[in-house]
Amino acid sequence: MDLQYIKGGQANLWTEQVYTFRQAEYMTWPRGLAIAESIWSPEQQKNWSEFFNRVEQHFARLDLAETKYSPSVYDPIFKVGKTTDNKLTVDLSTEIEGLDIYYSFDNSFPDRFYPKYWSTLIVPIDAKQLKLITYKGKNPVGRMLTMPISELRRRARL
């Protein structure tokens, strides 16, 4: 591709299925920050950690302005597998360094006093769902996620 003909960039938000302004805000931020970084920052100055530090500063501004935004960058990433004896396993990671993941299999809402994720989880045979949340220090930053065990099984093809 010949980059000399590219004059800029755009990021559309098609609103056929966006019914409220609050939902449009949620769909716009922090995506708008990411497209600005991508288009306006020189390649040699792009750095994920530095960019995300700036995004978190914008999150504080958006909170003050009562603007809704997506905190999905804090959500854990699931990798599902199985052991040789067909037990369901879950490995978790995050896009952001320094986050702690807390979880429960007992239908309760985990907080930082629940088990902390350290390594591969083996899903209890009677579990119906995995609930988890991410923390940064003592503060919850991620959304409380509920993952049905049936979905984990589907992903592991059990």
pLDDT in tens, 16-55: 999 999 999 999 999 999 999 999 899 899 999 999 999 9
Q: How confident is the model at residue 1 (pLDDT cuts 50, 70, 90)?
A: low
Residues 74, 99, 143, 91, Cα dihedral to 10°: 90
pLDDT above 80 (res 3): no
Domain edges within the chain:
14-64, 72-156
pLDDT above 80 (res 2): no
Report whether 123 contacts 149 (CB < 8 A): yes
Amino acid at 148: P
Proportion of the chain above pLDDT 90, given as a percent: 87
Q: What is the pLDDT of residue 8?
A: 82
pLDDT in tens, 91-121: 999 999 999 999 999 989 999 999 999 999 9
Strand ranges (DSSP E) for 1-87? 77-82
First CA to last CA across the chain, in angstroms? 43
Q: What is the pLDDT of residue 158?
A: 63
Report whether 132 contacts 116 (CB < 8 A): no
Domain 72-156 adopts which CATH fold?
Answer: Immunoglobulin-like (2.60.40)
